[in-house]
Amino acid sequence: MKKYFILILLATLLNNEANAQNYTFNYNTTGRRVCLVSSQVDLTNENVKIIFHDSLANTNEPLLVYRRKLGTYIWNAVANLSAGTGHWVDTNVNTGDVWEYQVKRKNTWAFGGVNYDATGYTLGALLNDNTNYKGQMILLVANDIPLNLPTKYQRLKKELTNDGWYVNELIVPRATTWDSGDDVVTIKNQIQNIYTMAPSNDKPKSLFILGHVAMPRCGSTNVVAPDDHSQNTGARGCDGYYADIDGIYTDTATYNPSGLSTPLAINLPNDFKWDQDFFSSEVEMAFGRIDFADLTEISTNENTLIENYLDRLSNHKNVSSGFYMGENSAFYTGYNNSNDGSYRSLINISKPENVYQKTDNSNHNEWVQNNGPFKIYMQNITTPAISDWQTYGMNATVYSSDQSYWGFGDVPQPNGVYSRIRTLLGVNSKCLIALWTTTGLNIFHQACNGQSIGESMKAIINHNSTNQYLEKPPQQYDTQDWWNRTHFTIWGDPTLNLYQVKPISNLSLNNISNNPVLQWSASNDNNIIGYHIYESISELGVFSKISKSLVLDTFFQIPNYVGTNWYMVKAIKSMESGCGKFLHPSLGISIQEDLVFSVTNNEYIEKTFIFPNPTNSIAYIAPGKMINEISIVNILGQTVLKQKANSITSHNSMEAMIDLTNYQNGVYYIIISYKDGGQMIEKIIKSN
């Protein structure tokens, strides 16, 4: 039977969310580290109510509230409240905003003879719109994956695109060793080139590593080991090296103490293992890896494990039968630094009333199977056993645990339980992300407004003692010696979202009464408020929204239809979490049909000529009728030039000129808008 998280079982509080809940955070005798906070938003009156769930149990310390726009750095003080306050309302907000709030109780926690403040975090999401283009990402893939799994790999790219991303595909040779040498530099240079070439306002946000791609290694000093066991120091796996575009990495140190758990951790000068145990700058991209090379705890071959993971990932995104993971999350207490993350983050992601606690000593996997599904399950005390996963699965999208050894993932499987975290994702279960929280990946509340789990994790990865991006009181296993470490790795798809919306079905594009019309079967999800329509010049290009408002029907007449373009439909749902409300889309379903329409004399448009094509500099446009505006779009769907055309005097003369001299070689699209409202799109090639 499900056991409600003790915070929300108090019946006297069920009808009065303004009162704080009677709960104490005294996990050990020395103090309380966390403020438990969530939020509720009122869109009619435009306000955010910050609820202090543990305030009545902590009546000796005043509360301080700070806020900042999500994604910025500077906290601004907004309230100083007396001890025991149950809630505070922020009225200085607007619909569409997303504010991040930090709450402190002063001097509640002592560590190393120093007093620290208890901290808590929530967001105030006032119907932020997640239905637009998400941005660019990089899919870094070993070359055997497209070769051996072409259909499943193509589906992955399409579903990432239909989820709102533009996929920069980077295919690299499969690694032949776990000590990859200068291959990591070659790959890093390719990533940096993609990042540099992207527009300044659309840099890649996420790095998805698929397959046995060369693994960077970082670490060269006698710092605290990732799991506090000195044999695990040295050059450990460091995918953040790929995601850190402008960080400085050196290769001059010698680190070769006796007793290291793996010779791969030995670091020598000029061996392409980097010296840094801490990131030298902020990591620009979220990152995650799926890599099933050299596993021995399960007998399934690597290609099949990749294929099975991609199938499960697709089922999750399409919300296939049996893959709806619901709104609940759960935890089992263990080490204090990870407990903090459970309480601080889960009540925002799942709402306080949807967080459950496992309180008995039964098998974790069996309990989750019987009580789930869960968005997240955190058991912060034991090393997960493969036999338990094989018997009961893991009925949670994200799994987290805090215990030594199993989570490194940077060595071949025969080395004890090391790399078991990779094996977990190979087991046939609902789990798609595995986190080793022993080193402080324990604040991720930002995922509560519909952003990817990887982006949320990036924020805590970038936290250090200087920027205090997500401040938290130091404690055992969670001092600044543990923060901002280069060995952080997320295992799974970093673009994954915890909020599911069931997509449409049976999409078709038809000629109806000489008009291009999309038709579809409605999403069978609850609380769908409408649909949005998107358009792209290619199947894997940037899809831009063309529906000016939500479509309430299950059909849509396409304006300015182009037969070679792709069209997409997404179901839109208004969702509510423990940090507000947001508009969230399903996975898009896309289609392309080159329809044929009958043409009357009145509709006839004389051909517009563009020449020379290809061109190395100047191209001329001879229109069939009066031009209003000319736009040039690159293959990403981004407008690189827009200009009004000169007056047309004769349709036989060269009426407009475009200069491509300073543009990169490649394919562009010229969009010509006519003064009578028509439009034409033509491809042009720039080449030397």
Beta strand pairing call for 329-332 and 374-379: parallel
CB within 8 Å of 467: residues ≥ 6 apart: 73, 282
* Inter-residue contact 294 to 215 (CB < 8 Å): no
Confidence at 18, pLDDT banded by 50, 70, 90: very low
Least confident of 136-150, 611-625, 668-682: 668-682
Predicted confidence (pLDDT) at residue 200 exceeds the cutoff of 70: yes
Question: Which tens digit of pLDDT belongs to each residue from 391-427?
Answer: 999 999 999 998 899 999 999 998 779 999 999 999 9
pLDDT score of 636 = 64
pLDDT score of 573 = 97
Nearest to residue 482, comparing CAs of 445, 437, 447?
A: 437
Predicted confidence (pLDDT) at residue 8 exceeds the cutoff of 50: no
Tokens of 347: 């009540």
State the Cα torsion 269-270-271-273 to the nearest 10°. Answer: 80
Least confident of 15-29, 256-270, 436-450: 15-29
Task: Give, in order, the Cα–Cα distances in Å from 538 to each of 225, 535, 566.
Answer: 48, 9, 6
Higher pLDDT, 626 or 515: 515
pLDDT score of 635 = 64
User: Distance between CA 262 and CA 243 in Å, rounded?
Assistant: 25
Confidence at 248, pLDDT banded by 50, 70, 90: very high
Q: What is the DSSP string of 402-453?
A: --SSTT---S-TTSTTTTHHHHHHHSSSS--EEEEGGGS----GGGGGT--H
Least confident of 288-292, 341-345, 461-465: 341-345
> If you ran DSSP here, which 8-state letter would residue 168 be given?
E
Predicted confidence (pLDDT) at residue 21 exceeds the cutoff of 70: no
Region of residue 224 (phi > 0: left; psi between -120 and 50: alpha; otherwise: beta): beta
3-state secondary structure of 503: coil
3-state secondary structure of 311: helix
Strand partners, 172: 142
3-state secondary structure of 180: coil
Predicted confidence (pLDDT) at residue 54 exceeds the cutoff of 90: no
Mean of all residue pLDDT scores within the chain: 89
- What is the pLDDT averaged over residues 666-673? 80
CB within 8 Å of 428: residues ≥ 6 apart: 308, 312, 393
Higher pLDDT, 26 or 116: 116
| Tokens 């120091």, located at residue | 233
Beta strand pairing call for 618-622 and 627-633: unpaired
Question: Which tens digit of pLDDT belongs to each residue from 556-608?
Answer: 999 999 999 999 999 999 999 999 999 999 999 999 999 988 754 344 345 66
User: Distance between CA 40 and CA 632 in Å, rounded?
Assistant: 45
pLDDT score of 22 = 29
- What is the pLDDT averaged over residues 255-270? 96
Higher pLDDT, 577 or 478: 577
Predicted confidence (pLDDT) at residue 294 exceeds the cutoff of 70: yes
* Number of residues written out for the chain: 688
Strand partners, 80: 64
- How many CA within 13 A on the CB side of residue 132? 5
User: Distance between CA 512 and CA 394 in Å, rounded?
Assistant: 48
* Inter-residue contact 8 to 328 (CB < 8 Å): no
| Tokens 């990732």, located at residue | 226
How many percent of the chain have pLDDT more than 90? 68
* Inter-residue contact 478 to 116 (CB < 8 Å): no
Tokens of 638: 């981004």
- What is the pLDDT averaged over residues 43-50? 97
pLDDT score of 647 = 42
Q: What is the DSSP string of 538-550?
A: STTSPPEE--SS-
pLDDT score of 26 = 46
Confidence at 646, pLDDT banded by 50, 70, 90: low
Tokens of 567: 């069209």
pLDDT score of 672 = 80
Predicted confidence (pLDDT) at residue 102 exceeds the cutoff of 90: yes
User: Distance between CA 135 and CA 122 in Å, rounded?
Assistant: 24
* Inter-residue contact 459 to 402 (CB < 8 Å): no
**List of domains in the chain:** 1-129 (2.60.40.10), 137-309 (3.40.50.10390), 505-591 (2.60.40.10), 606-686 (2.60.40.1930)
User: Distance between CA 293 and CA 411 in Å, rounded?
Assistant: 9
- What is the pLDDT averaged over residues 8-16? 31
pLDDT score of 655 = 64
Question: Which tens digit of pLDDT belongs to each residue from 609-626?
Answer: 787 888 888 888 877 677
CB within 8 Å of 220: residues ≥ 6 apart: 234, 235, 253, 254, 255, 267, 273, 274, 275, 276, 277
Question: Which tens digit of pLDDT belongs to each residue from 648-662?
Answer: 333 444 467 788 888
Predicted confidence (pLDDT) at residue 11 exceeds the cutoff of 90: no
Predicted confidence (pLDDT) at residue 545 exceeds the cutoff of 70: yes
Region of residue 259 (phi > 0: left; psi between -120 and 50: alpha; otherwise: beta): left
**Main-chain dihedrals φ then ψ at residue 144, nearest 5 degrees:** -80, -20
pLDDT score of 28 = 40
Predicted confidence (pLDDT) at residue 268 exceeds the cutoff of 80: yes
Region of residue 492 (phi > 0: left; psi between -120 and 50: alpha; otherwise: beta): left
* Inter-residue contact 337 to 29 (CB < 8 Å): no
